[in-house]
Each structure stands twice: as C-alpha cells, then as structure tokens.
C-alpha cells in the first residue's frame, strides 16, 4: 500500500480520554476512531491487525475440530427469560423493541441461542460431542466503558460452545480448548498464563482465564512460586500473619466508641492494631439474613460470597434493615446476640484469632475480648476475603503471593447443565434415557487482542508489533523524495516484496523525512527499509529493527531474502 | 470433515413458511436456522459458502484499491438527525436507548458514520480520493421479512464508501466498482446484469443495481433488445399503443356515473375502452396540492413522482382533503376546474390522446371529450407511470420491453454531495477553498448471495453449487460401510484430497446408502466420489457430477488429478 493513497492518519497528541498506552497509541497511530463512548471504528491499519488475529484464532479452532457458524445479534428476550440471565445481566444488556413490539437483546454472548439451536437438532448421543464457534460483534452496555477497545460496549469476540454426553467428554474438549488458546496467544506473540477465575455472568463451576501480562492491564493475577496462579477475584489465600492478637476476656467487654464506625477510627481510638478487629457485614439472600465476618483490615469478595450462598442476587442490607436486625445504627453490627436465624459465615483466616473486637449491636459501642464458639457460633466457615499481594498461598501454605497485572484475553467455562437444564435441552443417551446436555463455553477477545499486543510491548516512540500480527511486514522509507535514484529503488523494492506476497507499506508521502521516521516508529512495523541517497550509491539499504532498535546495512539485492529470513525465524 | 462428527442436519421436509426454493433448500440442507422472523443463524455448511463469498468480495475490493475497515453497529441517532434519514427510514430503523438514555440506531448502512469519520480526518484534496469498505452485519426492521436470508432483518452486507474532489474522480471509482461487482458475481458463478435502478432510501442521482437472474427473484427487470435494461421501479417506457381514442368534444360533456369510481366501472358503464379514461391522482407535497394524470389502465410509480417533486415524503390526499380540494367525493377528481395553485403533472403517454374522460370534480359525474391545453393546462410533463412488460421502449422507441425476474445482489450510487452537505463534511481544494466531498456508496448482499446462488441453479433433488463457492469440493461416499476394503479406500481418498488442500466431506454415517445419496444430492456438492464394492475390486471409483447429472467411472489412482482438473477448468 502507498501511504499517499491510504487512509492512515497519525497524530502527535492523543485524546484526553485515553488513559492507558494502548488506547493512546491506537488513536495516535490511526488504528481506531471513537464514534461514541465505548464504540469504535477500526480504520485500515487496525483492521489489518484484527484480521490477522482472526485468522490465527480460526486456524486454531479448526485444528481442534470446532465448526464455524454465525449466529444472529438480535436475540428474542424470551430466551433470556428461560435462562434467567435477563435479571442477571440487568442494564448491561442492550435491549430494544421491534416494530411489532417484540423485545430483543443485542447478544452479549450466545449461550441461549446456541442451546436453542442444539435442542432443536441434537437428538441422540450419537451426534455428540459437537463444538460450534463464531467470530462476531458482541454488545455489553458497560457502566464505565474505558481504555478504548479494551473495555468497549461493542467488541469482537470469538465464542465457542460445546455439547457433551459426559463430563469426560467435556473435560477432553476443555483441555483441547485450553491448548488452542495458549497456542493462539503464543502465535500472536503474547506472553500468557492460564489462571483460575471467577465465572461472573456466565456461570458454571470450573473456569479459567487466559491473561496476557501487561503493566496497565485491568486484571490482577496472584502468583505463587509453588505454581498456583489465580485471578484476584477468585484467588484463595491464608491472609497475612497477625501482627498482634486481641486477648480473650472472661466475657465480652462493651466499650463506648462514639461515632466511630470504621476499622481505622475504632482501632485508633482503642489504640490497638486493626488486626484485633473483625468486620461484620450484613447481607440479604432471598429471605435470609446473613452476617459475614472477616478480619478488620481485609476486603470482602462479594463474588465468593455469592457462590457460598449459591445466590447471584445477594445484596448488602440497607441501613434501615440493619437497624431492624441489630437494633443499632449501621457501623456497629457484630456477631454476638444476633437473631437466631441469622446465618453467620466466618472466613477461615479468623481461626488464628484469640479474641476479637466486634460491633456491639448497639449504637456507639463495640465489644472487646469476644471469643468465637463461646460468645457466638459460626454457621459455617468459608473463604470470602479478597486475596491480596503478600498473602500466604493457600495451596502451599508456605510462599507469599505476588501480584502481576494483565489483560484478560480468554475465558473458558465448564457450564455443566446450567443452560441445558434452564432451557430443557435434552438428548437420548445410549439407553434411550432423556438427559440434559453437558456444556462448555469458551470466549476469546479478538478486538481486545489488538490492544493487548500493544500493552505487552511498546516504547515512548510508539507501537512494536509482534511479527505475526503486524499490519505490514515492512515499511519502505525513501528519505529524499526528490532524488530519482532513491525513488526508483523504493518502487522496485516495494514491487519486489509485494510480488513475493509480503504486506508492504511504501511511505511515498511528499513530506519531511523526520515526519516519516516518527510515523514509522509510531505505527510500529517490525522492519523499516530506509533508502538513503548515499548508501544507495554503494548499493546498500538500511534495515531498522523496530523491536530491538537496531540498524543493519545490507546489499540492495538481499532485501527479499532478508525479509523472508526475518519472518521465518 | 467427517459427516458423523459434523453439525450438518438435513431434512426431508421444509418448513411451512418457506415459499421459494432457496429458502426451502437452505432449511432442508441445514445451511441456516431461523431464530425469529427475518433473523437466521448460519450453520457450518451455510457458513462455509458465506465465507467463500466474503473472500471473493474482499479480493475484488482490494484489487481496485479499496481499504477494509470495520465500523460499529451502534450508531448515535444524532447522526441520522443530521443526515435527515431518521424520518426517511422511519420504523425500518431498529432503535434503542442505552443505560444513560442516549438513543442509538442499529446500522442499516453506514453513510452517516463514514462521513463522520471522513469529516474529522480528510482535510485536503491531497488525501483524495479514498474508498473504504467493510463486510458487516446490517439491520433493517422489514415490515414483511420473508424468503429466508433473501429479505431478512439482520443480514451481511459489504458496503463501500468513496470520497472525491471531482465528479470525474467519482465516475472513475464508480466504473471500477461496477467492474469489480461484475467480476465478483462472475466469479461466484452467477449470471448477472447491471441495470438502472431506483435510489430508495440511500439517495443520489445516478445508481445501478446488479441483478442475478432467477425465476423466483423479487426484482423485476425490463429489458429491450436495443440494450436498455432497468429495474421496473425505475424503467421508463412509452406505454402501449392506444387501442382506440376518445373524441374531443366542443366542450367537456358532463355525464352521470353514479357510484362509479374505478376505471373499470366507468369504462364498462360508458361502454368505451379504458384507454379513453385518464386517472387524476391527488397528492400533497409540503403545502402544495398536486394532481397527477396518467392513462386509465396504468399504475402510478410513486418513487418517480417523489423524484419529480424532489420530495421523499409526498403522500396521497386523504378523502376529506380530496373533498375540500375538488368539492366531490374521492373517485371523481379531474383536472378541469381545480384551484389555480394546484400543480398538474401529466405523464408523456397522454400526448397521444385526443380527448379524455376524466372525473368531473362533482360526485357521481365524469367529463367526456376533454382536451388538454384547452380545458386545463398541465403544469409540467413528467414520466410517472410504472413501466410494464410489453411497453414500447423509450430508448429506441421501436422494440418492446421484456420482463425477467432476478435477485438484487448489489446496488451502487453516485451520492454526489447529499451526505457531505447535510453533515457539513468538507475539505480544502487546491485553491484553498472549502468544498463538500463528492461521494459514492456501494452495497453488496453477501448473505443474500448464498440464496441467490441456489435460486440461480437447483433441481428437484436439491442444490447445485457453483464450483467457486461450494462448501466442499467433493463428497466421498462409501456405499457399504461394513465392507473393509470400501472403508479403507474411502479413508485413503479422504486423506489424499485433504492433504492436497481440498475441502472434502466424508459421509461416514452408519446409515442406508439411499439416505446418503439423497443427502449428497440435497447439499449439492459438485463432485460425488462414490465407492462401490464391485467397482473398487476393479480399481475403479465412480464420479458423479451434480450439475450435469452424469457419472464417470475412473481409476482409483486418478481421483486427485480428476478433482484438480475439474476445479481448474
């Protein structure tokens, strides 16, 4: 492609709403353009990267026997009523009414639609297993779209769905899929890790994320040298060792803590370490009241709580309900003396406590020296705290968890019968018995991968594309446009490389060389072939390696071989 | 692919809502599945055809220098207010509100979005011309979705948009695009014709459709042996010769026609040919009243009228307004004695009339022997009748128009400055003067092409795919699954063809041979390689050509060469 005729706008400045490097660079290098919040166009340069990623994804899916299909974007909302996800997604689902007044959702994923297809046609175990996939635009009305295509409201995803008669068969496909994901990311040149993760709005018991390491990624990964790796939303830990301990008193001592509601206020006021305090957080699950106890300085992981209670709609009590339950204002709740039918869930890190300071269930008061098992009974022990960097690893109980940031590129799920049961999707097994499909689903963020590749490798001059997904293999840069020999060489190298099948960009713009060098660095093509007047006279051209920031002078005749060798390495 | 493991469901019966052969066959052969009215999934077999068509479209677009991009599906409705198409599309536009209450349309085409991109970035004539295209799902809430993917509410379209500084530059791209469309359809194996067409909701002055001939197509094409070809919505004609003529009388004679409102009723009652009658149809355009005069037995083409009046919102007068204007009930309107500011538009076919019978502008009365120019004055002459088969061609005024049916596959438009003016999209020309982009737009129905290919060639047994877009190049059919030699030969031919890069389907289903033969005919793979026990013993296999319905016995060793030769021919 000739730059003079191409639609490749570049900018010196990035827009003010671009917070992270990939977003800034995608705007500056003309890969994307914002239409409205969280909604972007891919311009020619961005589209080329997208297309190469799609191609790799497709090859890896086909290789493990998945079959490509294309499902609609308009989903009748009845399907979401069947699956129960209408409520679960809530306002994140884009919905509309057609001219006849029927409701539709714009597909956020396609579990419902694919289950609807399968239940109509897969009748027998003989037709199983099946894995169908598509590469399609998806929609989620994110409350806070940001980071460009990284967290967009309209984005491209590869989603696959598998149907099985047995858990063994699902496990086999799940493993194949995990390997395909790893190969896909490896081929895209992206360092990645598979981590245990949270199932979010998809559901199912077992699931893993594929995360590409990147300093500005939104995902937090906790890693132990013992091999344990998990998303921070899902990670389990033993917490940190206690700095000091509250002594158990003969009986709980009520202390006055006027207007002190936070852990910080109370511990300062009583002049103890926050480790002496235990937070009591009150929730409602269906008609039950739930009190959750965690160490004073820790954060509750609501998603873990949701799973413990097996209730996706669990919600914190409002202040007036807290008053009704505890008799005190919010901020003074504690486990001692709660109504007998209150479920008390205790995080295992509290096992190490001797005494505890807890709310007194009386406004402006706390209890000191409380002992679990004597002053109150836990209904159950369950891991509900958010794991943090520096926590002790639960797997090895020996090493300390380290934090790394990354971008979630893929997420695979064993759904089991979650959707097939909700939607009555059945087949006949080899004994003629009707059974629900065992299912898996597997998502991969195709448009997000473009941004992830940039986050994973860039410098202050611009992007540095991996070889496999670069929009062009080489950029030919004639330094002096007015020099006839330079231009002749540029045209002949351009033609030679193109004929050999390479994607080449010829920067034939009639502008200053400085601008061209800057732009070439910005758009990050791995090889820049610079044609200078002087070196050409000696039959030489300059090859600049964007990633290594190094230059080599080679014979003009050797260009094609050089490019071929570089990309076959 | 092995049929036993593939998702390729076939059916003997087609659903009751399938009216045309392509819809029936696409359902029966498992190419598509309906999710809801006008909304379909492409299953693996359909997707393969779709993907091959996309590939051809992409190659032909790239070949003429178009650049691929990908624009969003969610369009802020403000853009449609700017362009004026919000009203023009009306309920055909799917619209929705996001969680913040902002309105969006689901893109029916992308003129607004691409013009918004261009106005932000193309500043100078030096950056022109540019042609951008995408292959993307589009949405139109058709009032009557039907014929499967042929008239769907969600469909895949290739849409291209070009920006120019001059009409010459637009004309050049328009010609290139027309050639690319012809090549695309030719490569897809579809006999096609470029016809003058109606601009519909897109607009602009010059536009052409690409129509693939098909007996059940929705498009009507009028063709003259002089070379004139036009869509019936757009075609001009001289009408048919008059069977007999109404005599002019000294002055119009009022005759009583009680309760006779239709041409048929009046001509029967007066015992004259309908050719004596002239229909007066009353419309409103803005604040003006318009009377349109056409021969009694012809139909008005409202789209032509709309263009004559330069008003996309022209609408027929309601009965009470007719009474206000003419003083008579609807059915008795005529051109004589209308209020002076009524615009009277007369179709040129009325030039041949001597006298006319028209409504008397009095209930239950008509006028005989009326003479145009004496009894009333035409404000203007304009072609407004719908052309029909058997009309005299206007181009050569010699031959008769013939009708052929077809499927509209592409539509290209010279938009001129329609969108750039409405949306203030400008650039600086070489004199530094600000000017509006001259634009073109070019649509191609990618998902519709799958159906069109079937409409263009099928028989009572099923589909007959063109070589270039067939989902598989060959199907290998072992007749007797229990015969070890047969199965060994099947596996080895399957492997041999696959390794050589051919798309092969092996029908390894454990089912009766009759079912397999029927299914092979139904899904329409061009070559069926049948492995029979007896011929295999003689080292032979049978090649069945689906399109020609002929069989050849060839040496087992020659299969690969045979396939290669067939597809290179």
What phi, psi does B145 have (nearest 5°)?
-65, 135
> Residue B391 domain-assigned?
no
Residue B433 has pLDDT above 80, yes or no: yes
Residue A225 forms contact with B (CB below 8 Å): no
In tens, the pLDDT along B185-225 reads 999 999 999 998 877 766 667 899 999 999 888 899 999 99
In tens, the pLDDT along B532-567 reads 999 999 999 999 999 999 999 999 999 999 999 999
Number of folded domains in chain B?
A: 3
Q: Contact B41/A120, CB-based, under 8 Å? A: no
Query: What range does the domain containing A355 cover?
Result: 253-381
Q: Contact B67/A117, CB-based, under 8 Å? A: no
Residue B74 is nearest to which of A44, A65, A154, comparing CB atoms? A154
Report the distance separating Cα A203 and Cα A219, nearest Å. 19
Question: Is residue B274 within 8 Å of B267, Cβ to Cβ?
Answer: yes
Task: Indicate if ipTM > 0.95.
Answer: no
The position carrying tokens 């330069």 is: B310
What phi, psi does B94 have (nearest 5°)?
-75, 130
Q: Are residues A418 and A282 in the same domain?
A: no
> Residue A247 domain-assigned?
no
Residue B96 forms contact with A (CB below 8 Å): yes
How far from A565 is each of A497, A527, A568, B132, B259, CA to CA, in Å? Answer: 13, 12, 5, 33, 89
Q: Token pair of B386, please?
A: 């719908």
Distance from A357 to chain B by nearest Cα, in Å? 43
Supply angle C-alpha A373, A379, A385, rounded to 5: 95
In tens, the pLDDT along B318-373 reads 999 999 999 999 999 999 999 989 999 999 999 999 999 999 999 999 999 999 99
**Helix ranges (DSSP H) in B327-459:** 418-422, 446-456
Supply angle C-alpha A214, A220, A221, rounded to 5: 90
For all residues of chain A together, what is the average pLDDT?
94
**Helix ranges (DSSP H) in B35-166:** 44-63, 77-83, 85-89, 111-121
| pLDDT in the model for residue A430 | 95
| pLDDT in the model for residue A569 | 85
For all residues of chain B together, what is the average pLDDT?
94
Q: Token pair of A273, please?
A: 């370490």
Q: Are residues A313 and A360 in the same domain?
A: yes
Q: How confident is the model at residue A202 (pLDDT cuts 50, 70, 90)?
A: low
Residue A7 is nearest to which of B33, B67, B92, comparing CB atoms? B67
Q: How confident is the model at residue A440 (pLDDT cuts 50, 70, 90)?
A: very high
Residue A69 is nearest to which of B47, B95, B96, comparing CB atoms? B47
Q: Contact B132/A7, CB-based, under 8 Å? A: yes
Q: Are residues B170 and B278 in the same domain?
A: no
| pLDDT in the model for residue B568 | 94
From chain B residues 118-137, the ones with a CB under 8 A of any chain A CB are: 120-121, 130, 132, 136-137
- pLDDT, greater one: B89 or A103: A103
Distance from A124 to chain B by nearest Cα, in Å? 12
Of B67, B143, B140, the closest CA to residue B447 belongs to B140
Q: Contact B33/A120, CB-based, under 8 Å? A: yes
Distance from A447 to chain B by nearest Cα, in Å? 11
From chain B residues 147-186, the ones with a CB under 8 A of any chain A CB are: 153-154
The position carrying tokens 């009639």 is: A510
Residue A500 forms contact with B (CB below 8 Å): no
- pLDDT, greater one: B149 or B201: B149
Residue A515 forms contact with B (CB below 8 Å): no
Helix axes A21-28, A446-456, angle to 10 degrees: 100
pTM of the entire structure? 0.89
In tens, the pLDDT along A386-399 reads 999 999 999 998 89
> Residue A178 domain-assigned?
yes
Q: Are residues B214 and B116 in the same domain?
A: yes
Q: Contact A70/B41, CB-based, under 8 Å? A: yes
> Residue A504 domain-assigned?
yes
| CATH code for the domain in which residue B282 is found | 3.90.960.10
Residue A96 forms contact with B (CB below 8 Å): yes
Report the distance separating Cα B15 and Cα B224, nearest Å. 39
Residue B378 has pLDDT above 70, yes or no: yes
Report the distance separating Cα B479 and Cα B118, nearest Å. 60
| pLDDT in the model for residue B508 | 96
Distance from B165 to chain A by nearest Cα, in Å? 14
Q: Are residues B225 and B334 in the same domain?
A: no
Q: Are residues A45 and A194 in the same domain?
A: yes
In tens, the pLDDT along A468-502 reads 999 999 999 999 999 999 999 999 999 999 999 99
> Residue B495 domain-assigned?
yes
The nearest alpha carbon in chain B to A75 belongs to B35
Q: Are residues B506 and B548 in the same domain?
A: yes
Distance from B175 to chain A by nearest Cα, in Å? 19
| CATH code for the domain in which residue A106 is found | 3.30.930.10
Interchain CB contacts (distance < 8 Å): A and B: 137
In tens, the pLDDT along A538-562 reads 999 999 999 999 999 999 999 999 9
> Residue A135 domain-assigned?
yes
E-state strands within A120-186 = 130-139, 154-164
Q: How confident is the model at residue A123 (pLDDT cuts 50, 70, 90)?
A: very high
Question: Is residue A167 within 8 Å of A206, Cβ to Cβ?
Answer: no
Of A381, A375, A348, the closest CA to residue A361 belongs to A375
Work out the average pLDDT over A309-331: 92
Distance from B529 to chain A by nearest Cα, in Å? 23
Q: Are residues A15 and A43 in the same domain?
A: yes
Report the distance separating Cα B134 and Cα B147, nearest Å. 25
Q: Contact A35/B70, CB-based, under 8 Å? A: no
Distance from A556 to chain B by nearest Cα, in Å? 28
Q: Are residues A423 and A498 in the same domain?
A: no
- Alpha carbons within 13 angstroms on the beta-carbon side of residue B446 total 27
> Residue A325 domain-assigned?
yes
Q: Are residues A359 and A318 in the same domain?
A: yes
Question: Is residue A412 within 8 Å of A443, Cβ to Cβ?
Answer: yes
| CATH code for the domain in which residue A513 is found | 3.40.50.800
Work out the average pLDDT over B158-177: 97
Q: How confident is the model at residue A152 (pLDDT cuts 50, 70, 90)?
A: very high
Q: Which among A346, A381, A416 is the end of a domain?
A: A381
Q: Contact A68/B153, CB-based, under 8 Å? A: no
Q: Is the dihedral of CA A485, A489, A490, A491 positive or negative?
A: positive
Q: Which among A347, A381, A415 is the end of a domain?
A: A381
Helix axes A44-63, A167-187, angle to 10 degrees: 140
Of B407, B479, B457, B402, the closest CA to residue B228 belongs to B402
| pLDDT in the model for residue B410 | 96
Q: Which among A421, A454, A487 is the end of a domain?
A: A454
For B134, other C-beta atoms within 10 Å of its C-beta total: 22
Query: Which of A1, A5, A7 is the mutation pick for testing B, counting most B CBs within 10 A?
Result: A7
> Residue A165 domain-assigned?
yes
Of A453, A455, A452, A443, the closest CA to residue A200 belongs to A443
Q: Are residues A327 and A415 in the same domain?
A: no
Q: Are residues B370 and B419 in the same domain?
A: no
Work out the average pLDDT over A140-145: 94
Residue A159 has pLDDT above 80, yes or no: yes
């Amino acid at each position: 492609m000739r730059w003079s005729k191409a639609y490749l706008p570049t900018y010196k400045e990035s827009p003010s709403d671009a917070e992270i490097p990939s977003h800034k660079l995608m705007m500056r290098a003309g890969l994307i353009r914002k239409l409205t919040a969280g909604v972007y166009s891919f311009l020619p340069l961005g589209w080329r990267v997208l297309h190469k990623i799609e191609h790799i994804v497709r090859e890896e899916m086909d290789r493990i026997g998945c079959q490509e299909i294309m499902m609609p974007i308009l989903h009748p909302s009845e399907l979401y009523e069947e699956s129960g996800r209408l409520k679960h997604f809530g306002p994140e689902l884009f919905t509309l009414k057609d001219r006849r007044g029927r409701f539709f959702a714009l597909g956020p994923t396609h579990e419902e639609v694919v289950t609807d297809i399968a239940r109509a046609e897969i009748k027998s175990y003989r037709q199983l297993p099946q894995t169908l996939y598509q590469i399609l635009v998806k929609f989620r009305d994110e409350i806070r779209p940001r980071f460009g295509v990284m967290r967009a409201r309209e984005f491209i995803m590869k989603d696959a769905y598998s149907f099985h008669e047995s858990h063994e068969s699902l496990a086999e496909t799940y493993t194949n899929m995990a390997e395909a994901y790893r190969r896909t990311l490896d081929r895209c040149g992206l360092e990645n890790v598979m981590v245990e993760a949270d199932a979010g709005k998809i559901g199912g018991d077992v699931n893993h994320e594929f995360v590409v390491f990147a300093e500005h990624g939104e995902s937090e990964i906790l890693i132990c040298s013992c091999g344990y790796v998990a998303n921070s939303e899902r990670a389990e830990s033993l917490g940190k060792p206690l700095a000091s301990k509250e002594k158990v008193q003969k009986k709980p001592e009520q202390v006055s803590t006027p207007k002190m509601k936070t852990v910080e206020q109370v511990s300062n006021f009583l002049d103890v370490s926050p480790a002496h305090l235990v937070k009591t957080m009150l929730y409602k699950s269906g008609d039950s009241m739930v009190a959750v106890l965690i160490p004073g300085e820790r954060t509750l992981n609501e998603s873990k709580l949701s799973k413990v209670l097996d209730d996706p709609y669990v919600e914190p009590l409002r202040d007036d309900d807290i008053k009704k339950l505890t008799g005190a204002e919010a901020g003074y709740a504690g486990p001692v003396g709660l109504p007998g039918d209150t479920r008390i869930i205790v995080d295992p890190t509290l096992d190490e406590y001797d005494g505890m300071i807890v709310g007194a269930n009386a406004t402006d008061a706390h209890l000191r020296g409380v002992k679990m098992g004597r002053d109150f009974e836990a209904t159950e022990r369950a891991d509900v705290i958010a794991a943090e960097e520096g926590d002790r690893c639960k797997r090895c109980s020996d090493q300390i968890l380290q934090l790394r940031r990354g971008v979630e590129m893929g997420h695979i799920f064993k759904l089991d019968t979650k959707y097939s049961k909700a939607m009555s999707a059945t087949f006949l097994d080899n004994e003629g018995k009707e059974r629900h499909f065992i299912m898996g689903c597997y998502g991969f963020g195709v448009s997000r991968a473009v941004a992830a590749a940039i986050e994973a490798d860039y410098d202050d001059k611009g992007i540095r594309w991996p070889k496999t997904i670069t929009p062009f293999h080489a950029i030919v840069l004639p330094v002096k446009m007015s020099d006839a020999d330079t231009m002749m060489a540029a045209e002949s190298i351009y033609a030679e490389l193109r004929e050999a099948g390479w994607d080449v960009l010829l920067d034939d713009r009639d502008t200053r060389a400085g601008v061209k060098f800057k732009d070439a660095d910005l758009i990050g093509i791995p090889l820049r072939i610079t044609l200078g007047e002087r070196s050409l006279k000696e039959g030489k051209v300059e090859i600049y390696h964007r990633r290594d920031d190094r230059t080599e002078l080679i014979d003009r005749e050797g260009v094609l071989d050089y490019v071929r060798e570089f990309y076959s390495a």
